[in-house]
Structure 1
Amino acid sequence: MGKTLDGKVVLVTGAGGGIGREIALMAAAEGAAIVVNDLGATLKGTGHTLTAAQTVVDEIKAAGGDAIADGGSVTDPDAARAMVEAAVKEFGRIDAVVNNAGILRDGFFHKMRYEDFDAVVKVHLYGAFNTSRAATDYFREQQSGALVHMTSTSGLIGNYAQANYSAAKLGIAAFSNSLALDLKRWNVRSNCIAPFAWSRMISSIKTETPEQEARVEKIKKMTPAKVAPMACYLMSDQAAEISGQIFAVRMNEIFLMSQPRPVRSVHSGDGWTAESIAEHAIPALKSHFTPLEVSAEVFSWDPI
């Protein structure tokens, strides 16, 4: 039996460590040639070194795979295009992009600066646009391609002190769905993964109470390697019919996440006033409201 990604060429952003590294290593083991992109920045996005990306390239080559390192920033459209073009120049094509690069600048909203909001959205959401847009020109020409975007339950459900990160991650889910619709005619697929895994980004979670400390200890058991199989599957030909979906991966659990659809409706033949909405519409709708929860309250049981 051949390897799942034999002959494919994959760009993985933010692949110098954590989830991105595990995806790059597994994709290479499954037969893909890899462009390992990593800016080598701090968790907040400062600094720049190729060391992390090159280390992963060396690991891939030591295991018999093929890879090149790239240190460009996904926030720069020209750098994103250069990543894709490096794949085509070195390996002859580009088959998949994993939009994994990210930073955190957490803070409660009343303390959040414009710069912190802007920087996080630029890396996550604009970064996904820049790499996807660059790859799409090649995907259309070859009539195939796969995009895998990392979203988060912080955006899909909610979390404290992450207005910037949550906005970017929910934006990525909508972005992915739009790409799935727009690019279907060229056999290009776009899907999201919301990963649960201990990584450098997750390590910044505040642990100010015993409950928060206990939660972090549970997350530490969720290894990034558990996320890689789903990403590799979504890039493979076996997933040719899957597009526009959002999956979550937590240890050995895989979830298909819901997407917004109408839940309940009310109608008034005479139209509505603010008063009639208060008296009739809201009482009818209220039992169907979505609770205001954080991710940990929704995923309240221990991972399997």
Structure 2
Amino acid sequence: MRDRVAIVTGGGGGIGAEVSVELARRGATVVVLDSGDGLRGEPLGERSAERTVRRIEAAGGRAVAAPISVTDADAVRGLVEETVARFGSLDVVVNAAGIVRFPRIGDAAADVAADDWAALLGVHLGGYLTLLAAALPRMTAAGYGRIVGVTSGVGLARTSVDGPAYGSAKRAVAALTWQLGPVLPPGVAVNALSPIAATRMVTEGLVAAGADPRGLDLSAMPQPEHMAPAAARLASEEFGWCRGRVLFSAGSEVSLIAPPRLVEAVATGGAGAAAALGALVRPVLAPAHAQQRSTGGSNPRSAPLAAAPPDPAGPSGSAEPGVGACLVAGDDRALIDQLAAALAPWGYPTAAVPVGVTGTADAAAGFAAAERGLRRAAASTAGLDAVVVIHGTQAIGVGGQPVVDWPAILASHAGTAATILGHAAWSRAAARHVAATGRALRVVHVVPALTPGGRSAAQAVTQLARSVNDTPITSTGPEPGLLEFAVSVESPHPADRVGLVELVASLVAAPDTASLAGAELVVRPGWLGLRAHPAPAVTASLAGAELGPWTDDVLRDALAPFG
């Protein structure tokens, strides 16, 4: 790290401050970026960046303070230019800036919840995109650079009842990292760190969950300074071989987090999606989701579908006629009509509303509009049992050119936050409806995912669904009050809309598909599938050793089967 120049965001406190100090200790000149805002993003004007600079200078290091916000794109671009002009290069960026808010789904008023969601996505995802857009042109031109994003376990293997917005934003950061890393030019690497430490954010989260702050003792947890060696390793010259990966650090352990990986696939041709789903949900897809692995590789788990005659009574496991209606929020009239036809045999009438302002960056208007739309739909039907939200930056079944370079990947994320906000608006409205009526409701999120930005949005929305499903919202019926599903649509072919609508209809109406709530479902050309959630692929116990060549060898060995 000697003579390297680094920008560390969120460097005024917590993990960011410790990373700044560690990089300076290793010889880097550190630009400490911190706006001085509070944990929730409230403007406090604290001189936190200067405090970290004083710590570094007191230890003999070199540092300067930059009291700006990562959400200020012009200021960030200006800082990058100023850094290069003053110090000759920009070699490292560590994006540790973050805020924390806890909009538990359905609890807060529309304007409060919308502001929380927009603020969290703006700092965690928007700030990361801003830094990447500012730093990567300089780094790619120089042929050298290391960027370390920061994600979180509650956006990966775990969920957070009190933090669905935070978890969704952090999943989007991870998804962007996984897609961006492999396409960067030689010499430039982007990876992400998922830390767990006793920070003020963790304390705030525990208090929000009901803990008494006077009795909290986090001394057994890793401390912020224990995260600095892992961040420094990711930012080092030696770690340039690793690109587009997420590492989890618990101080004494480091884990490689695998992205969602396919574990089951079902053909949508042949017997057809409806027959395949009716036969395979219970013996194939549900166990795979529960165990997060394929349960195949032994005796066949179902009879050949061609040998199973169609049921003249209707879809397998169909509900009795007279169930409540399904509201579809979407702008694709043809797809909505296809879905209505697929739901008709289940006895579900459908009502449709356009996405409208719920799919824009105006979060407050969108959250309020979703609640009004759901309330009107419930009042105009015999009862509402399901909501399907079809929303993204690209139409379903519309092809496009593959995105293969980093500028296009960043550009494709321009509408990602708005897509996540749109789905969150309907989730919140659904939660409030269940809480007010006691009537169970299923919500199916359908996200077009033909671009990198669309795939990041689909992963974030899946994380939203997982968090909502872990939130206790009771109903008067046998099902949980609110069940949410998410489908990533990754086929450009109109023919695959048939498999999509049959999948969505099954998720809406079939009793046995309740076991797929929160699953990472995908529709691809000619098939649909189930992916496992992000999870540790390998963990290295440091046992008092430093991160170095031996941990690199562990990671290389773990990655070898994936190519």
The reply to whether TM is greater than 0.5 is yes
1 CA distance for matches of 2:290 and 2:219? 25
Residue 127 of structure 1 is matched in structure 2 by 127
The answer to whether structure 1 residue 160 and structure 2 residue 161 are counterparts is yes
Using a 3 Å threshold, how does the CA distance of structure 1 residues 71 and 48 change in structure 2: closer, same or farther?
Answer: farther
Q: Are residue 70 (structure 1) and residue 59 (structure 2) matched? A: no
Q: Is the 8 A contact 1:95 1:139 kept in 2?
A: yes
Paired residues for 1:159-238 under 5 Å:
159-183=160-184, 185-207=185-207, 217-218=217-218, 221-238=221-238
The answer to whether the Cα contact below 8 Å between 2:198 and 2:218 also exists between their aligned partners in 1 is: no
For 1:84 and 1:153, locate their aligned partners in 2 and report how far apart those are by CA, in whole Å: 30
1:31 aligns with 2:32: no
Q: Spell out, residue by residue over 1:7-50, the C-alpha distance to the aligned partner (whole angstroms, 9 max, x if none).
A: 11010000101000000000000000000011111111011425
Aligned counterparts of 1:10 and 1:42: Cα–Cα separation in 2:
24
Kept after mapping to 2: 8 A contact 1:266/1:281: no
Aligned-residue offset at 1:177:
2.0
Structure 2 counterparts to residues 19-98 of structure 1, below 5 A: 19-49=15-45, 51-98=47-94
**Aligned structure 1 segments of 4 or more residues deviating by more than 6 angstroms:** 291-294
Give the aligned partner of residue 279 of structure 1. 279
- Which residue identity does 2:171 align to in structure 1? L
CA gap 1:290/1:45 in 2 versus in 1, 3 angstroms: farther
Identity %: 32
1:50 and 1:89 map into 2 onto residues whose CA distance is 27
1:202 CA displacement: 1.3
Distance 1:269 1:126 in 2: 40
Distance 2:44 2:220 in 1: 27
TM-score scaled to structure 1, two decimals?
0.88
Distance apart, 1:275 and its partner CA: 4.9
What is the CA distance between 1:261 and its match in structure 2? 1.4
Larger radius of gyration: 2
Q: Which digits, 9 at most, give the CA deviation of each residue in 1:113-145, with x for residues without a partner?
A: 111100000001010111111111110110110
Residue 178 of structure 1, CA deviation: 2.5
Note the C-alpha offset of 1:62: 1.3
> Compared with structure 1, are the counterparts of its residues 268 and 16 closer, same or farther at alpha carbon in structure 2 (3 Å cutoff)?
closer
Q: Call closer, same or farther: CA 1:283–1:200 in 2, change over 3 Å.
A: same
CA distance in 1, matches of 2:220, 2:120: 24
The aligned residue for residue 3 of structure 2 is: 7
Structure 2 unaligned residues grouped into runs of 5+: 292-465, 471-534, 544-563
Q: Deviations over 1:71-109 (max 9, x none)?
A: 111011111112222321331110011011000111211
Once the 2 structures are TM-superposed, how far is the Cα of residue 282 of structure 1 from its aligned partner? Answer: 4.3
Tell me by how many angstroms 1:164 deviates: 1.2
| Rounded Cα–Cα distance in structure 1 between residues aligned with 2:216 and 2:284 | 39
Partner of 2:96: 100
Distance 1:290 1:182, change over 3 A: farther
Q: Per-residue deviation at 1:251? A: 2.6
Separation in structure 1 between the aligned mates of residue 114 and residue 86 of structure 2, nearest angstrom: 39
- Using the alignment, how far apart are the partners of 1:68 and 1:152 within structure 2? 28
CA distance in 2, matches of 1:58, 1:77: 27
Correspondence for 2:249: 249
User: What secondary structure is seen at the aligned counterpart in 1 of 2:136?
Assistant: helix
CA positional deviation for 1:209: 6.3
Unaligned runs of 5+ in 1: none
User: 1:103 and 1:290 mapped to 2: Cα distance?
Assistant: 33
In structure 2, give the amino acid aligned to 1:143: G
Post-superposition shift, 1:273?
Answer: 3.8
1:237 alignment partner AA: E
Structure-2 separation of matches of 1:175 and 1:269: 32
Give the direction of change, closer, same or farther, for the CA distance of 1:242–1:276 in structure 2 (3 Å limit): closer
Q: CA RMSD in A?
A: 2.5
How far did 1:260 drift? Answer: 1.0
**Preserved CA contact (<8 Å) 2:178 2:259:** no
| Aligned counterparts of 1:68 and 1:48: Cα–Cα separation in 2 | 20
Q: Distance in 1 between matches of 2:284 and 2:216?
A: 39
